[in-house]
Amino acid sequence: MHLQRRDILLSALATGAAGATLPAWAHHGWSSFDQNRPIYLEGRVAEVRWRNPHAELVLELPEKLALPADLTRRPLPAQQAGVDGPALLSRTTLPRRTDRRWEVELAPLFRLQQWQMTEVPVGAQVAVVGFTFTDEKGAALLRAEYVFHDGRVVGLRSSPA
């Protein structure tokens, strides 16, 4: 009987300790983001977190962010998801927020690998088009739809077509 209690106690402690050390992932579904108002950001990568559930970048924006004149003419890659990229780019605006640092959520690592997108180095110049929260409260966070980096464009809604 004493051995049984000790085993139960050890099992409970091990389970509790293991549970206490597991990371709590914050994952945002698409419904949290205003997909009717695409946002353009560009800047220098200050931080990189290349992990699941999705890779993340922290961008430091320039003092005077502007939409590039050629944005609506940029070629976009075909994706398996039905994304009307040209229409999305034509609706893209600058953020209403004035934050100089933005967290950018990319896709899961598996999808980035499908696009053959490698880890973006700190210091790299990156542009993104994506969506911010519908209420624009809280963190300056953008969920990326397109990433423009190193002469390439990657679509993150789905796998390449």
Question: What does the block give as tokens for 45?
Answer: 């990568």
- How far apart, in Å, do the first and last CA atoms of the chain sit? 62
Instruction: For the chain, list the domains and their CATH numbers.
Output: 30-155 (2.40.50.140)
Q: What is the pLDDT, as a whole number, of residue 24?
A: 35
The mean pLDDT value of the chain amounts to: 83
| pLDDT tens digits for range 70-96 | 999 999 999 888 889 999 999 999 999
**Contact 74/148 with Cβ under 8 angstroms?**
yes
H or E stretch covering 37: none
CA dist 94 and 91 (Å) reads 10
The residue type of 141 is L
